[in-house]
Amino acid sequence: MRKPLALVGAGSQTYREYLLRSVAGAYDVHLLADRAPTWEAPYLTGHTVVDTADPAALAAAARGLGCAGVITWDDTRVVQTAELARLLGLPGSPPEAVLRCRDKRATREALRAAGVPQAESVPVTSLPQARAAAARVGYPLVLKPRALNASTGVVKVESAHLLASRFRLARAATAPGAVEVAPGDVLVEEYLDGPEISVDAAWYRGRMSLAFVARKDCGYPPYFEEVGHLVDGRDPLMDDPRVRDVVTGAHRAVGFTTGWTHTELRLTAEGPKVVEINARIGGDRIPDIGRLALGVDAALVAARVACGEEPDVRPGRHRVAAVRFHYPEADCIARQVVIDHAQLPAGVDSALAVALPGQELRLPPHGHVAGRYALVTVVGDTREDCLADLDKAAPAIGLEVLRPL
């Protein structure tokens, strides 16, 4: 028998439709959103237009639906969704724990108290404070807004003469919908050298079921734009006790017990260290390539956990999958994206236009993620196969520019 499930916000069609499609195949999904559904409509059994920033309003809208669980993959609504679950008496982590994930300062404080490996971090609100913190942390360092996502406002600072301009950039960064933490606070953090990875895992009553590890490709230094990800179904990091211990310790420190998380780490010479914990399914199509590589459907597992059932992340295969995002050479307004599907290599699973006609495409620091005009996902037997197919696919993905910015 299909269970009713409430979804708080659906997110972007490009990045989240495949998740909703999957969940709707097994659950009766009722959407709670700030607007009426458009592309989401075919996947829904019902919807309510409601202020999703207001947990009491969400609870009033959800009562009577008989939902077995509530879920969101919108980073700006994870705290409200956790509060909704508590108000309805449904499974989930305490809202206070979810807020400790959302609030990067609170994350750092909880991990520091528990002795979990992470970057040294000093919260500041002014440039003089940032200078004092930089003298303590040392260069190079990273400036990070307290509660944003998608690497918005995150910037590396190599020396003291760059601190003022980059502090102004980090402090001014904003994101629509973020209401849990007042804007303006910045963390001055130790720069962690080494490859960056993300760990997507299901949590059930404090027990972790690690689903997949993605290796991140960052671009546009000194910014940390995520330009691609790769999941290897045989990645030894999935069974690395150091990675598991750090991720488990981090969740224990913040108090997260039930749900799905996307944890980012750096593999330093001293071992893995936590960058941040996101209390939701990973973005950037990472769950999609996780499914291609391992056969694990993150959306279905997350829905199952939200309904109080134990997760099952046993892999059904062991392949390699990757995603790469395409960017313009400079800031511009897109006329259209043209994809020649006949030229795509056999390893391509999907090639999608991200930019709409007339959309502004801005590279960091003027835009983060919003500069992408297309994405390509591939699957193969080796990392080399995937990277080669991504390179071969590039000439088939074209951007017609209306005008530069």
Give residue-wise pLDDT tens across range 89-140: 999 999 999 999 999 999 999 999 999 999 999 999 999 999 999 999 999 9
**Could you tell me if 151 and 262 lie in one domain?**
no
Q: What percent of the chain is predicted at pLDDT more than 90?
A: 92
Whether residue 99 lies inside any domain: the answer is no
**Could you tell me if 283 and 177 lie in one domain?**
no
Whether residue 341 lies inside any domain: the answer is yes
pLDDT at 185 exceeding the cut of 90: no
**Could you tell me if 253 and 352 lie in one domain?**
no
Whether residue 84 lies inside any domain: the answer is yes
Better-scored residue on pLDDT, 43 or 366: 43
Whether residue 113 lies inside any domain: the answer is no
pLDDT of amino acid 357? 97
Confidence band for 235, pLDDT divided at 50, 70 and 90 = very high
Whether residue 104 lies inside any domain: the answer is no
**Could you tell me if 219 and 314 lie in one domain?**
yes
**Could you tell me if 390 and 290 lie in one domain?**
no
**Could you tell me if 182 and 212 lie in one domain?**
no
Supply 246's token pair. 């750090």
Confidence band for 336, pLDDT divided at 50, 70 and 90 = very high
pLDDT of amino acid 182? 62
Q: Which of 69, 90, 111 corresponds to the end of one domain?
A: 90
**Could you tell me if 350 and 385 lie in one domain?**
yes
Confidence band for 147, pLDDT divided at 50, 70 and 90 = confident
DSSP sequence for 265-329 = EEEETTEEEEEEEESS---TTHHHHHHHHH---HHHHHHHHHTT-------S---EEEEEEE--S
- The enclosing domain of 358 has a CATH number of 3.30.470.20
Whether residue 103 lies inside any domain: the answer is no
pLDDT in tens, 198-209: 999 999 999 999
pLDDT at 171 exceeding the cut of 90: no
Distance CA 12, CA 73 (A): 10
pLDDT of amino acid 173? 73
93 vs 131, 138, 304, CA distance in Å? 37, 36, 14
pLDDT in tens, 39-95: 999 999 999 999 999 999 999 999 999 999 999 999 999 999 999 999 999 999 999
**Could you tell me if 330 and 405 lie in one domain?**
yes
Whether residue 62 lies inside any domain: the answer is yes
Q: Are strands 196-204 and 46-49 parallel, antiparallel or unpaired?
A: unpaired
Query: Domain of 68?
Result: 3-90
Q: CA torsion sign, 186 to 191 to 197 to 199?
A: negative
The total number of structural domains in the chain stands at 4
